[in-house]
């Protein structure tokens, strides 16, 4: 089976990008990543685009083929769009990698993009609710915060923790990611806040969204795009720096919310995907010096510590207390600032995670650099743990 390398990455600024449209984000991403990889459109065999809901956000489905508008030299080449909720971007990465492994293509561009701020918060919430099991959840006003608040409540109940006990741990996750994002010029939010500052905020500044989750436990509504060039490892790198995609896996789970057919205290699908991707790569979690993980809510990152094998279930807070997930720790989690502070333009997120790890491994991070990093992981979750995409990257 053909091995796959990443040879270039592009990353826009994340945030409320009033001057950008879905189309301009796409065009800048595809042109930018080809420039980074020192390639032309004629060198690309296929384009894979991760986009969650251009239809609801921008009245534009069928966005993949806009690549021809951006670069007419790509006309009549295959272009595909993937939708897997918040894992749409990583799903596009995995599909491109599988196409290369199969021998059908040699080189691909992968783009992730979303233009979310065209809608007000209520419209965004309804769009995200389309990623639930609609008849029983979205149609009954179940939103993303509701799903992950259920996860938090299930975890507290199973392990006997009160909300007062949980709050400082969630605040520490947020504070860590705010601190990391403050060093990332591409991040949506670059203002650090300490754990104490978050805990001391009055209710009107940090309101309850769905108990126990508050405003500062939630990721950001953002615009942005990211892109990669993937190719067979037997092709020349054209002077760019390759990083190997040594393992990847997508573990799918029930569409229903946590606590129905799947655990409401452990991220089962993510755990399976981590194990499978590591097995493919021939490495263990101890070999990972950093990871970009899916902190759509602070509780999600906290519980990913056990799913990844960094802490025991029910003891996830020990990864915080030991500082192993902070800068200079054993496995730095979300050095980019994560979804919490870097931003979460849904379709762009998974590609952004891969781009961030790629740049870490070539020693040119967008912000906080993990020293001498040789291997890193991406853990990208869609829906209520329904799509769990994990990738392992290694410096060549």
Catalytic site includes residue 86: yes
Task: Choose the catalytic residue: 216, 294, 344, 354.
Answer: 344
Residues 151 and 159 sit within 8 Å (Cβ to Cβ): no
Q: Looking at 86, 296, 331, 389, which residue is catalytic?
A: 86
**Helix, strand, coil percentages in the chain from 3-state DSSP, rounded to 5:** 40, 20, 40
Helix (H, G, I), strand (E, B) or coil at 244: strand
The DSSP string of 317-368 is HHHHHTTTTSTTSSSEE-TT-HHHHT---HHHHHHHHHHHHHHHHTT--SSS
The secondary structure of 108-127 as a DSSP string is EEEEEEEE-TTS-HHHHHHH
Distance CA 188, CA 17 (A): 10
Look up 344 and say whether it is catalytic: yes
Question: What's phi and psi for 386, nearest 5 deg?
Answer: -85, -35
Sequence-separated (6 or more) residues with CB below 8 Å from residue 315? 306
396 token code pair? 């060549």
Contact status, residue 249 vs residue 280, Cβ threshold 8 Å: yes
Within 10 A of 102 (CB to CB), how many other CB atoms are there? 10
Strand 387-395 relative to strand 243-252, pairing: antiparallel
Long-range residue pairs from 57-62, CB within 8 A, at least 24 positions apart, any chain: 57/22, 57/114, 57/115, 57/116, 57/118, 57/119, 57/124, 57/127, 58/21, 58/22, 58/115, 58/118, 60/22
SS (H, E, C) 145-204: HHHHHHHHHHHHHHHCCCHHHHHHHHHHHHHHHHHHHCCCCCCCCCCCCCHHHHHHCCCC
Active-site residues, by number, are 86, 344
């Amino acid at each position: 089976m053909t091995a796959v390398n990443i040879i270039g990455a592009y990353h826009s600024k994340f945030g409320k990008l009033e001057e950008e449209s879905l189309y301009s984000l796409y065009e800048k991403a595809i042109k930018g990543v080809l420039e980074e990889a020192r390639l032309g459109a004629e060198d690309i065999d296929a384009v894979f685009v991760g986009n969650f809901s251009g239809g609801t956000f921008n009245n534009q489905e069928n966005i993949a083929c806009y690549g021809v508008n951006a670069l007419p030299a790509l006309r009549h080449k295959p272009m595909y769009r993937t939708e897997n909720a918040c894992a749409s971007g990583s799903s596009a990465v995995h599909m491109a990698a599988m196409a290369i492994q199969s021998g059908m293509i040699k080189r691909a561009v992968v783009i992730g993009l979303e233009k979310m701020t065209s809608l007000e918060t209520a419209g965004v919430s309804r769009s995200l609710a389309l990623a639930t099991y609609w008849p029983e959840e979205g149609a009954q006003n179940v939103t993303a915060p509701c799903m992950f608040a259920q996860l938090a409540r299930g975890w507290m109940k199973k392990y006997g923790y009160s909300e007062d006990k949980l709050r400082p741990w969630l605040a520490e996750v947020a504070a860590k990611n705010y601190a990391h994002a403050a060093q990332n010029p591409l991040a949506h939010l670059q203002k650090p806040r300490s754990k104490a500052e978050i805990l001391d905020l009055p209710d009107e500044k940090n309101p309850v969204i769905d108990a126990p989750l508050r405003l500062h436990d939630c990721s950001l509504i953002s615009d942005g795009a990211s892109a990669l060039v993937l190719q067979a490892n037997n092709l020349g790198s054209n002077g760019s720096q390759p990083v190997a995609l040594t393992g990847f896996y997508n573990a799918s789970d029930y569409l229903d919310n946590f606590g129905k057919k799947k655990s409401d205290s452990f991220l089962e699908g993510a755990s399976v995907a981590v194990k499978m991707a590591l097995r493919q790569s021939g490495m263990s979690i101890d070999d990972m010096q950093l990871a970009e993980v899916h902190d759509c809510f602070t509780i999600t990152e906290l519980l990913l510590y056990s799913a990844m094998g960094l802490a025991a279930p029910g003891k996830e807070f020990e990864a915080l207390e030991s500082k192993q997930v902070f800068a200079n720790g054993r496995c730095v989690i979300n050095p980019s600032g994560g979804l919490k502070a870097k931003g979460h333009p849904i379709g762009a997120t998974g590609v952004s995670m891969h781009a961030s790890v790629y740049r870490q491994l070539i020693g040119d991070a967008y912000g906080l650099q993990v020293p001498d990093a040789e291997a890193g992981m991406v853990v990208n979750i869609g829906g209520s743990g329904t799509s769990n995409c994990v990738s392992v990257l290694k410096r060549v």
